[in-house]
Amino acid sequence: MKALLAGDEEFLRALVRTALQEVLEAEMSEALGAEKSERTAGRMGYRSGYYGRTLVTRIGKLELRVPQDRAGRVSTEVFERDQRSERALAEMYGQGVSTRKVKAITEELCGHSFSASSISAINQRLDMNLAQFAGRPLAEAFPDLILDARYERVRESGVIVSQAVMIAIGIDWDGRRQVLAVELANRESRSSWRDCLLGLKARGLHGVEFVVAAVPAGLRAALREALAEAADQHCYVHFLRNALDYVPRKVDDDGLQELRRLGACPRAGHRPDPGDRRDLTEARRDLAAWLAKWSGKYPKLTSWVEENIDETLTFYQLPRQHHKHLKSTNMLERLNEEIKRRTHVVRIFPNGESCLRLVRALAVETHENWLEQHRYLNMDDLREHKKEALRRAA
């Protein structure tokens, strides 16, 4: 257990920060006698925003947002408490262990334990906040949607199984990325993805014009059923990976390199390289040349590419400035790699609930960071692109 707790400081840091942030909120609510925006006769004051505070711990610096009250009379005890409880909180939150086990862990690591009611209250509050995030209404439109999944090992009924963690990212009309959904399923089936997409629509998802997704047939079928009006872009990176199945193991890489360059995009503000394609016409011309060049040497590969490449070129209907961002799920892949790095320390989750709790907590952290960063896409490019398309159509 100690080895697990000490194994990954980044993993611990994110979980401890989330837990301590909830403790700060709980302290303020208790001091004021009311939750945020709650109307109660016994309220003893009002909140007045936050100030930043760094807490130095044995797992590194934690940047916390400390709530303030208008009168300035409420002070937190978080920065004065024995910080040995941090690791117990991380174990409680990340592993989803029972109250009894958390009491034993805190007694061993800290020399004291939380009461059972305190542990249950904090756990319930954390789960409630994650549930609120997962079920929040989606009032604004998201023209772009990126979908993918990764697998985690979970113990169910005494058996270790791989379960799919399905993630949906939306890009709003301000050009900012948002985590829209994180769901757990036995596998990436048509029904599991359909339920995920219909759940998003039930929460208000609308205005989706372009979807970037991996290749699984179940996901493709679910998209046709739930978001038939949106343009469908198969991830070009997944397409290239699947192409490896149609060439010998020891293969001259020139053909695959040229296939990779078919999806190359000019960089904004740079003079395009000879291999960069500005529009679909140029891409199809170069594809025809590629097929003619390699069909004799790799007939299986060229036949498969000819049958499957069309939906990987959908990104050409977007403005050129968006091509490199929306021709693949690479942006979501980077989030998946961060999740993998954090969950590696757990190895096998004791149940599905603890797996979903941890991944959603990491997703919330990423979501908040994205909202604070510069916008991911300049959506004015898309607006002008659509206006130009209407002018040409007229």
Evaluate whether residue 394 is within a structural domain. Answer: no
Task: State which of 88, 103, 134 marks the end of a domain.
Answer: 134
Identify whether residues 162 and 274 lie together within a single domain: yes
CA distance 392 to 394: 5
The two tokens of residue 231 are: 């343009």
Give bridge partners of residue 144 from the DSSP assignment.
171, 210
Task: State which of 113, 134, 155 marks the end of a domain.
Answer: 134
Residue 370 vs residues 73, 207, 377: alpha-carbon distances, Å: 33, 21, 12
User: How high is the pLDDT of residue 103?
Assistant: 57
User: How high is the pLDDT of residue 354?
Assistant: 81
Identify whether residues 191 and 104 lie together within a single domain: no
Neighbours of 190 (CB within 10 A): 17
pTM: 0.71
User: How high is the pLDDT of residue 104?
Assistant: 58
Task: State which of 81, 99, 134 marks the end of a domain.
Answer: 134
User: How high is the pLDDT of residue 41?
Assistant: 75
Evaluate whether residue 15 is within a structural domain. Answer: yes
List, for the chain, all residue ranges whose pLDDT scores fall below the cut of 70: 1-12, 56-60, 72-123, 250-252, 264-278, 345
User: How high is the pLDDT of residue 359?
Assistant: 87
Identify whether residues 333 and 266 lie together within a single domain: yes
Evaluate whether residue 344 is within a structural domain. Answer: yes
Identify whether residues 60 and 201 lie together within a single domain: no
Evaluate whether residue 139 is within a structural domain. Answer: no
Residue ranges making up the domain that contains 37: 2-134
Identify whether residues 110 and 231 lie together within a single domain: no
Identify whether residues 130 and 266 lie together within a single domain: no
- Number of structural domains (the chain) is 2
Closest CA to 235 of 164, 363, 322, 325: 325
Identify whether residues 66 and 162 lie together within a single domain: no
